[in-house]
Structure 1
Amino acid sequence: MPEVSLALEQRPVTVRGESAPKRIDSIDGLRAVAVAAVMAFHYGTGLGGGFLGVDLFFVISGFVITRLLLTERARTPRPSLGSFWFRRVKRLLPAVLLVVGAVQVWMLLQRPVGLRHTVNAQTLAALTYTSNWYAVLGHVGYWDVTQEQAPLNHLWSLAVEEQFYLVWPLLLFALTTWGTGRIRRPQLLLLATAAVCYLLAYLLYLPGDPDRAYLGTDTRAGALLLGAAIAFRPGLFSRFCRPAVAVLGWLWCTADIGSAAFYAWQLPLAGLAAAALIDAVAHGERFRKALSSRPLLWLGHRSYGLYLWHWPVWIYLVVNHPEWSQGAKASTAVCMSVLLSAAGYRLVERPVRTSPWRPRVLLPVLAVCCATLALVTTAPVAAPVDARRNGPIVTGPNAP
Structure 2
Amino acid sequence: MIGRRGQWVAEPQRPSGGDIRGLTGLRAVAALWVVAHHFWLFSPESPWLRPLQPLWPLLEAGWLGVDLFFVLSGFVLTHNYVSVMGSRATARATAGFYRARLSRIWPTWMVVLTAATAGLVVKQLAVGMESTETRLDAVTMLRQVFLVQVWDRPDYAATGPVGPGWSLSAEWLAYVVFPALVLVLHRLRRLRPVVLGALALVAVTPFAYGCLAMGAHDWRWSWLLRLAGCFLAGALVALCVARVPLRPGATRAATRLTVVSSVLVLAVVWWADAIGRDHAGVAVLLFPVLVASLALTDGGLARPLSTPAMVLGGRISFALYLVHMGVFEAVWTLMDIAPSLQGGSVPAVTLQLALPLLPLPAAWALWRFVEEPARLRLRAPRPTAPATGPGSAVCAAAGAEAPVAVGR
1:36 to 7, 32, 49: 32
Give the Cα separation in 1 of the matches to 2:64 and 2:315: 20
Cross-structure match for 2:147: 129
Cross-structure match for 1:344: 366
**Range 67-76 or range 220-229, more displaced:** 67-76
Cross-structure match for 2:302: 288
Contact 2:22 2:298 in 1 (8 A): no
Contact 2:85 2:183 in 1 (8 A): yes
Q: Does 1:114 align with 2:130?
A: yes
| Mapping 1:231-250, distance limit 5 Å | 231-234=238-241, 238=254, 240-250=257-267
Number of aligned residue pairs: 324
Q: What secondary structure, in the 3-state scheme, does the structure 2 residue paired with 1:224 have?
A: helix
Cross-structure match for 1:277: 290
TM-score w.r.t. the length of structure 2 is 0.67
Contact 1:59 1:223 in 2 (8 A): yes
| Mapping 1:1-400, distance limit 5 Å | 22-44=18-40, 46=56, 47-73=59-85, 78=90, 80-111=93-124, 112=127, 113-115=129-131, 118-120=134-136, 123-133=141-151, 136=154, 140=158, 152-176=162-186, 185=195, 188-196=198-206, 198-199=208-209, 210-214=218-222, 216-234=223-241, 238=254, 240-252=257-269, 255=272, 261-262=278-279, 266-268=280-282, 270-286=283-299, 287-322=301-336, 323=342, 331-355=353-377
Residues 21 and 260 of structure 1: CA distance in aligned 2, closer, same or farther (over 3 Å): farther
Contact 1:302 1:341 in 2 (8 A): yes
Contact 1:50 1:253 in 2 (8 A): no
Q: Could you tell me how far 1:110 is from its partner in structure 2?
A: 3.6
Contact 1:95 1:349 in 2 (8 A): yes
Residues 155 and 172 of structure 1: CA distance in aligned 2, closer, same or farther (over 3 Å): same
TM-score w.r.t. the length of structure 1 is 0.68
How big is each residue's C-alpha offset from its partner over 1:74-107, in whole Å with a ceiling of 9 and x where there is no partner? 7998571111111000001111111111111213
Residues 196 and 43 of structure 1: CA distance in aligned 2, closer, same or farther (over 3 Å): closer
Contact 1:190 1:229 in 2 (8 A): yes
Contact 1:191 1:225 in 2 (8 A): no
Return 5+ residue gaps in structure 2 as ranges: 1-12, 41-51, 245-249, 337-341, 382-408
Greater RCO (Cα-Cα under 8 Å, separation 6 or more):
2
Give the Cα separation in 1 of the matches to 2:61 and 2:210: 21
The amino acid across from 2:234 in the alignment is G
How big is each residue's C-alpha offset from its partner over 1:248-302, in whole Å with a ceiling of 9 and x where there is no partner? 223455656xx7652xxx424x222222221111111232221111111121110
Q: Could you tell me how far 1:124 is from its partner in structure 2?
A: 4.2
Contact 1:313 1:336 in 2 (8 A): yes
Residues 241 and 105 of structure 1: CA distance in aligned 2, closer, same or farther (over 3 Å): same
Q: What secondary structure, in the 3-state scheme, does the structure 2 residue paired with 1:120 have?
A: coil
Give the Cα separation in 1 of the matches to 2:225 and 2:64: 17
Give the Cα separation in 2 of the matches to 1:224 and 1:272: 13
Contact 2:147 2:169 in 1 (8 A): yes
Give the Cα separation in 2 of the matches to 1:77 and 1:169: 6
Contact 2:156 2:166 in 1 (8 A): no
Q: Could you tell me how far 1:131 is from its partner in structure 2?
A: 3.8
**Range 107-116 or range 235-244, more displaced:** 235-244
